[in-house]
Amino acid sequence: MPVVFRYRGFRFYFYSNEGDPREPPHIHVRHGRDEAKFWLSPEVRVAYNDGFDARTLAELLGVTEMRKAEFERTWHDYFR
């Protein structure tokens, strides 16, 4: 599972074998036992949240939006 970015103890990553057929580009975020998943296109949005409070989820959504291009580029480079 390639880690794409680290931010304040949060790991932003994707699974290298997730889905058959493969799901559209997305990023997982984990901190401790809490995890969220964000779809990257057409716009960044929450796919699921398991444990993050609303304030933290909003912060992670903002970080994901700011780094969307990097996450998508890394995703496409990895799966080509």
| Helix 68-79 × helix 54-66 angle, to 10° | 70
pLDDT score of 18 more than 90: no
Question: Cα(78)–Cα(43) distance, rounded to whole angstroms?
Answer: 21
pLDDT score of 19 more than 80: no
Question: Cα(51)–Cα(35) distance, rounded to whole angstroms?
Answer: 6
At 26-43, the pLDDT tens digits run 999 999 999 999 999 999
| Residue 18 Cα distances to 13, 22, 54, angstroms | 12, 6, 26
CB 77 within 8 A of CB 56: no
Given this model, what pLDDT does residue 10 score?
Answer: 98
Question: Cα(41)–Cα(7) distance, rounded to whole angstroms?
Answer: 21
Given this model, what pLDDT does residue 35 score?
Answer: 98
pTM value is: 0.94
At 54-72, the pLDDT tens digits run 999 999 999 999 999 999 9
